[in-house]
Amino acid sequence: MAGQAGNWGTDSIRAWGGHWRVVQALGSSRKLPKMRFEYNYATGDSNPNDGRHETFELLYPTPHDKLGLADQVGWKNIHHVAAIAEWKPDERWTVQTKYHNWWLASTRDGVYNAGGSLISRDVTGTSGRHVGQEADFQVLLAANKQILLGAGVGRIFPGEFLRKTTPGANYTFPYGMVTWSF
């Protein structure tokens, strides 16, 4: 958990965020997945005009894949629930399926992407709380001690808030990656 206090221009800052995780192996066989259940929370601004900045600010840039592979929802003004199943068919391969569900912490604040930029806001608070859901699939291969290869896809299904404040279309994010550690 992290708390934030201080000043944001002329506004005082009072914000916090937390991350909780439960991990459970379903057995010792490689055929059975290891399950992870996560809950993430970050405060949002309940009244943009009251002189208090209550939106939790990201502590580090580009937190890829913390609240979904598509990186369209970030750790600001959010309730996030996730279920992740992970298989390791052998020491080099990892296969993951993930489900994410998001709600606004404050309906008068907005939804922010993984980099912390505002996507959409309704200061009246009348566009609903449910942001949407995401389903992800990811495969990782440790080619050797230095190179990790990966590919995956994330698909977002907009909830009431996104349908009312954006065009409300589904969003698909395929990706491939190479990570070289040196």
Q: What is the mean pLDDT of the chain?
A: 94
Q: Look up the pTM and report it.
A: 0.91
DSSP character string of the chain: -EEEEEEETTEEEEEEEEEEEEEEE--SSTTSPEEEEEEEEE---S-TTSSEE-SPPPSSS--TTSS-TT--S-SSSEEEEEEEEEE-SSSSEEEEEEEEEEEES-TTSEEE-TTS-EEEE-TT--S-SEEEEEEEEEEEEE-SSSEEEEEEEEEEEE-HHHHHHS----EEEEEEEEEE--
Who wins on pLDDT, 98 or 60? 98
Supply the CATH number for residue 152's domain. Answer: 2.40.160.100
> Does the pLDDT value for residue 139 go beyond 90?
yes
Average pLDDT over residues 9-23: 95
Task: Report how many domains make up the chain.
Answer: 1
Using pLDDT thresholds of 50, 70 and 90, give the confidence band for residue 59: confident
Q: Report pLDDT for 2.
A: 94
Q: Report pLDDT for 42.
A: 97
| Containing structural domain, residue 31 | 2-180
Q: Report pLDDT for 87.
A: 94
Using pLDDT thresholds of 50, 70 and 90, give the confidence band for residue 165: very high
Per-residue pLDDT tens digits for 79-90: 999 999 999 999
Percent of the chain with pLDDT over 70: 99
Q: Report pLDDT for 16.
A: 97
Per-residue pLDDT tens digits for 25-44: 988 887 789 999 999 999 99
Percent of the chain with pLDDT over 90: 86
